Amino acid sequence: MIILTGAAGFIGTNILRKLNEDNINDIIVVDEINDSSKWKQLNGCKFIDYVNKESIFEYLEKNRDKIDSIIHMGACSSTTEKNFDFLYLNNVVYSQRLWKFCSRKEINFVYASSAATYGCGENGFDDTHDSIGLLNPINVYGYSKHLFDLWALKQEVKPAHWVGLKFFNVYGPFENFKGDMASVAHRGILQAYHDGFIKLFKSENNQYKDGEQKRDFIYIDDLVSAVIHFFKGKGKSGIYNIGTGKAQTFNEIGSAIIANCDVEAKIKYIEMPDKLVGSYQYFTEAKIEKLRSSGFNNEFSLANDGVKKMIEKFNF
């Protein structure tokens, strides 16, 4: 039996659907849906039961001999969240408790880290364990993810097989409930169809022209394939980058939307919100040699192909 946290979220939903496609249905989905409409993300999916995230540890103890692995995607993923204590409890303490359970029961543990841990990238984007301690996140969210990575690397008692996955900029279907944290592709597609223009941030950095900020954008299907690869026990335990290895500009994402949507649209540059100034990543690019060494050889979709697939599946 598989525990999947964050199952009604963007990445969790896509993982759940891929597991179902592979005829894996013995899944306990964990989230905190309450009175939101996130339940719609689970509609049509196959799983054994839903457990609220606050009840999961009680559930684990009652069913400890039935569980084979935990895929931990649940977290507060807001890069603009300022409450350190809230982030620490959700992104560090909660993950530590799951880790300790997996260690006691000697089961596999896959968890989501983040490229936000790399900060401005002044120390590169290398996922070797020796380099992780050198990183300087520039927002509290990234710092919370970084703290758990550091904690995991220090542990003497570990799950049977464990991997932490530093996700770069993910985009694709089922971002409907991400709000301000939705990808530029998701927001841009909606803007193109509803407003006729795609809004991109002006640059506050003289090294980058407007829209020429560069990120490693990874399409969700490619990311999910990597998660499933490690879920199946491939590669050595450790922390891995999950990105394409090729940075692309926000203008390329905007141009891909324009090229693939069936409406007239233009790019419009807007002022960067004050809350992002000083905590904005202008460049990210995953080093993926370690990922490749694990045996993951899938090709990645770059902006035009990924956005085209996304528009084909988009739920307006």
Question: pLDDT tens across 33-87, in order?
Answer: 999 999 999 999 999 999 999 999 999 999 999 999 999 999 999 998 999 999 9
176, 223: one domain: no
State the burial class of residue 123 (Cβ atoms within 10 Å of its Cβ: 0-12, 13-18, 19+): middle
Active site residue 62: no
CATH number at residue 178: 3.90.25.10
pLDDT at residue 306 in the model: 98
Residue 166 has pLDDT above 80, yes or no: yes
Active site residue 145: no
- Residue 308 lies in domain: 172-214+247-282+304-313
User: How much is the average pLDDT of 282-304?
Assistant: 97
pLDDT at residue 180 in the model: 86
Quote the number of domains for the chain.
2
Q: Please pick, among 118, 141, 171, 240, the residue that the annotation labels catalytic.
A: 141
Q: Please pick, among 38, 105, 178, 268, the residue that the annotation labels catalytic.
A: 178
48, 189: one domain: no
198, 120: one domain: no
90, 108: one domain: yes
> Binning pLDDT at 50, 70 and 90, where does residue 316 land?
low
Per-residue pLDDT of 138-157, as tens digits, reads: 999 999 999 999 999 999 99
pLDDT at residue 277 in the model: 86
Per-residue pLDDT of 190-230, as tens digits, reads: 999 999 999 999 999 999 999 999 999 999 999 999 999 99
CATH number at residue 93: 3.40.50.720
